[in-house]
Every structure is written in structure tokens, then in C-alpha cells.
């Protein structure tokens, strides 16, 4: 029994899973750069007020999931680990005067987020997200670009199909009247509301549409729909978003109950699910417009939109869909030797190969040559560089591990030969050497 374990709700990413996550991070980085989004990084923790004010105090994230840090008495400030990227990025946008930059400011970040949530399948207290934000463009074309970028990410990641749910939740012009109507509807059914939702009804009625309680979910089926009550400007914006999505071939489903779980959203909101999955706990990403958040965090009124895609959820969805995990990278060559104790020469030659850009491992144990070759084959290496008596004449043996063929190669040309052989190599075909 181990003396210590990872904290509850966290886990160690062992090499096979970390390789899969790194692949998703590369896809995210390459896509974001292709779309013109520049990298940004914010601290892992912020003043808790950044999230309480930006996300909203009457949300699951702040009420139950904010990962607070214990402050020192002399600090006098409350800090929290970031539960999502947007609030911290907008804080940086305001703090560093990015409103004076050419607009929109398009940034991206991939990294760890933290929520003190009840651990369950696919939900961890430390998790990874791919995030993009476009601040300073009122849309609607940028909304469609963001959603299309999300759809392309899942496609490039290898998910066979995803479902995009889309809604508009209005703005400060039309939403107050809708909230009043929604509140009246819930008050007429107050006896069906659990205590938590009754309290939310007084402070944030929209949160009830986001409820996970089965009784409220059933009640929501007949609740008033925001899309029937949008003002002319919001209705025109939503129609234009859909027109742009059609133009770029993005399929979606309208979902009038979708409000997202954070207070800063306005107008466009969307969520992404694996094909056939239902229920908010199955969502693998989502985002929307937050036209009031910059002002809420101390800046001038500035529109914005973004998304956060859960990379842990994507890995889980890939496994559920039967997609083979990403293979761990294998070395091109393993340097072995007939003299078990001559680790210096093996290390020196491997170092030279690495300096030439070849992925190489040196066999540094004092094992016999046969065992060294067996280990090289288990590593999945293409070739073994065998150091023997020929080294006195400046040569080594280059072996194709699957074909079992080998030939002498000069040490001076070894890197070039490995590079050439790797480009044309097919395991088991001796002719490639």
C-alpha cells in the first residue's frame, strides 16, 4: 500500500495519457495560430474577486466549486485557483491596456484549471482546457468563426461527430423582461422547487434553466423561451450568426434552454457534446459572448466572445468512441554495443545523433548485446546502431530491427544515413537499407 496518493479529484498523467494530451495541445496550438489567435498565459491563481465578480456569485463555480487558497494573515487578500480562463484573460486585457491595441485582440491559452467539485467520471479538480478569446469585435461573424474553430478542433482530434447546441440569451435590453416573466413562471410552481433553487430564484432566475435537479429539469420543459423574446438587435445578431455558420458548413441544433453556467454570457451561447450524448455533464466544451465582462472588471465597455474546450473530456470521448490512443513516440535508433561495460562510447554516439536531430536512446546498462537488442525492439525503435570492433576503422553496424538486416556505416555519415533510411523506411523491408 503506497504511503502517499494523489489528492482526491486529481490524478497523475502517466506517459501514455500525457502523450494523448500533448497531441491535443499541439492540435489546439496549431489551429489557434492558423486562425490568428496569439498565445497568452495568466497566473494559476487570481484574487477571488476576479472570478466572483466576473463569473457571478450565484453560480455553481463560485457557490460550490471555487478552489480557494488559504491566505496568510498579513496578506489580507483572498485568492483562488483559476476555475476557467476567460475572467483572468479579461483582467489582463484591462490591466495591460490592451484596449489600445488593434481590435479585436485574439488570444489563446491551453492549461490547467481547478474546481473544488465533487469528483466523478470525467470531472476532475484539476483539468485541462483549450481556450480562445476574441475581445473587441461585436460580431456576428466572429461568433461563427469561434464556433467553426471549435468544430474543427474536434474533427482534427479525431472525434467522429459532435453535436453543437446553439442559443441566444439576449442582452441588457431584452433579458430583464424575460427574467421577470421567467421568475413569475417559477413562482407559480414554487412548491416544486428544491431549497437551493428557491434561493437562486430570488438572486439569479436564469440559473434555474441550468439546474441539474431532475424536478427543475422537468419544470423547465414548459418554461418561457428567451429566443421568443429577443429584442430586434439580438434577434438580428442571432440570425446573422446562423447565416455565417451555414456559410462555413457548421451544423448545429437550436437549444432555447441553453444559458451556460456563468453570469458573464450575453447573446450567443453554445455547447458541444459527443454524438448521441445528452445531459450537461456530458458536454466536452462550450462558450459564448460576454459583452459586459470587460466593463465589469474595470475596463471600458468592450464586446468579447470565446470558448473553453475540455481536453480531459475529449480524451474520454475518444476512448468511448473506440479511437485508439496516441502511440508513445519511439526512438529512431537505439545505440547498443558488444562490450557491455563501454557505456561511454554508446553515450557519445547517441549524443552526436541527438545533436544532428535524430531521436536516439543509448543503452546505458551493463547488459549483453542480445539483451540490449531485445530492449531496443521493445522500445519500437526502427534501427539499432551496434558498436563493435569495426569502430576502430570508424564504422558501426546499422541494423533494421524488424527485417533483421544490417550493414556497416561510417560514424561520420551515420546521422545522414539514419535520416535517409527513416524517410524511406518500412518495417520489415530489407531493401530500405
CATH number at residue 96: 3.30.930.10
In a domain, 195, yes or no: no
pLDDT at 427: 46
Same domain as 267, residue 125: yes
Q: Per-residue DSSP letters for 126-185? A: EEEEEEEEEES---SHHHHHHHHHHHHHHHHHT-S-EEEEEEE---TTTHHHHHHHHHHH
Same domain, 154 and 236: yes
One domain, residues 254 and 359: no
Q: Could you say which of 320, 348, 375 is where a domain stops?
A: 320
Q: pLDDT value at position 344?
A: 95
* Per-residue model confidence (pLDDT) at position 168: 94
Query: Which three cell numbers, joined as nine digits, stand for 77?
Result: 487578500
Task: Mark which of 299, 320, 341 sits at the end of a domain.
Answer: 320
Position 124 in a domain: yes
Beta partners for residue 309, in sequence order: 130, 285
Query: In this structure, are 302 and 388 located in the same domain?
Result: no
Per-residue pLDDT tens digits for 247-272: 999 999 998 888 765 556 889 999 99
Phi first, then psi, for residue 222 (nearest 5°) are -110, 10
**Are 111 and 237 part of one and the same domain?**
yes
Q: How far apart are CA 322 and CA 345, in angstroms?
A: 44
Q: How many domains does the chain have?
A: 2
Q: Which three cell numbers stand for residue 332?
A: 529512431
Question: Does residue 66 belong to any structural domain of this protein?
Answer: yes
**All residues at 6 or more sequence positions from 413 whose CB lies less than 8 Å from its CB, including other chains:** none
Residue 4's CB is within 10 A of a number of other CB atoms, namely: 5
Q: Are 285 and 313 in contact (CB under 8 A)?
A: yes
Q: Are residues 342 and 316 in the same domain?
A: no
pTM of the model: 0.85
Tell me whether residue 170 is in a domain: yes
Torsion sign, CA atoms 42, 46, 49, 52: positive
**Residue ranges of the chain with per-residue pLDDT less than 50:** 58-60, 427-433
Pair (290, 235) in one structural domain: yes
Among 320, 343, 372, residue at a domain's last position: 320
Amino acid at each position: 500500500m503506497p504511503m502517499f496518493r494523489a489528492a482526491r479529484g486529481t490524478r497523475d498523467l502517466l506517459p501514455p495519457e500525457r502523450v494523448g494530451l500533448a497531441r491535443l495541445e499541439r492540435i489546439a496550438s496549431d489551429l489557434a495560430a492558423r486562425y490568428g489567435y496569439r498565445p497568452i498565459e495568466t497566473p494559476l491563481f487570481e484574487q477571488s474577486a476576479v472570478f466572483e465578480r466576473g463569473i457571478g456569485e450565484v453560480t455553481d463555480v463560485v457557490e460550490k466549486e471555487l478552489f480557494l487558497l488559504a491566505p496568510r494573515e498579513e496578506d489580507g487578500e483572498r485568492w483562488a485557483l483559476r476555475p476557467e480562463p476567460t475572467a483572468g484573460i479579461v483582467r489582463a486585457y484591462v490591466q495591460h491596456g490592451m484596449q489600445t491595441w488593434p481590435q479585436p485582440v485574439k488570444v489563446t491559452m491551453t492549461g490547467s484549471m481547478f474546481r473544488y467539485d465533487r469528483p466523478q467520471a470525467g470531472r476532475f479538480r484539476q483539468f485541462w482546457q483549450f481556450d480562445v478569446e476574441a475581445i473587441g469585435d461585436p460580431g456576428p461573424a466572429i461568433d461563427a468563426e469561434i464556433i467553426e474553430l471549435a468544430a474543427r478542433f474536434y474533427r482534427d482530434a479525431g472525434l467522429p461527430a459532435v453535436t453543437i447546441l446553439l442559443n441566444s440569451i439576449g442582452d441588457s435590453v431584452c433579458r430583464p423582461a424575460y427574467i421577470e416573466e421567467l421568475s413569475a413562471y417559477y413562482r407559480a410552481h414554487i412548491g416544486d422547487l428544491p431549497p437551493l433553487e428557491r434561493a437562486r430564484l430570488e438572486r439569479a432566475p436564469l440559473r434555474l434553466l441550468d439546474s441539474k435537479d431532475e424536478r427543475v429539469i422537468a419544470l423547465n420543459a414548459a418554461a418561457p423561451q428567451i429566443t421568443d423574446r429577443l429584442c430586434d438587435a439580438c434577434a438580428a445578431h442571432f440570425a446573422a450568426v446562423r447565416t455565417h455558420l451555414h456559410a462555413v458548413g457548421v451544423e448545429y441544433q437550436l437549444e432555447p434552454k441553453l444559458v451556460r453556467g456563468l453570469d458573464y454570457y450575453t447573446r450567443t451561447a453554445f455547447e458541444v457534446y459527443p454524438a448521441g450524448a445528452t445531459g450537461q455533464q456530458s458536454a466536452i466544451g462550450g462558450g459564448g459572448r460576454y459583452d459586459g465582462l470587460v466593463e465589469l472588471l474595470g475596463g471600458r465597455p468592450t464586446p468579447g466572445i470565446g470558448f473553453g474546450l475540455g481536453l480531459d473530456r475529449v480524451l474520454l470521448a475518444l476512448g468511448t468512441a473506440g479511437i485508439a490512443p496516441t502511440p508513445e513516440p519511439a526512438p529512431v535508433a537505439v545505440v547498443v554495443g558488444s562490450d557491455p561495460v563501454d557505456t561511454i562510447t554508446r553515450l557519445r554516439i547517441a549524443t552526436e545523433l541527438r545533436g544532428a536531430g535524430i531521436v536516439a536512446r543509448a543503452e546505458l546498462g551493463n547488459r549483453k548485446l542480445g539483451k540490449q537488442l531485445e530492449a531496443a525492439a521493445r522500445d519500437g525503435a526502427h534501427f539499432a546502431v551496434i558498436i563493435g570492433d569495426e569502430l576502430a576503422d570508424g564504422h558501426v553496424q546499422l541494423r533494421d530491427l524488424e527485417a533483421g538486416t544490417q550493414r556497416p556505416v561510417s560514424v561520420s555519415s551515420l546521422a545522414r544515413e539514419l535520416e535517409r533510411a527513416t524517410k524511406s523506411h518500412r518495417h520489415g523491408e530489407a531493401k530500405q537499407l
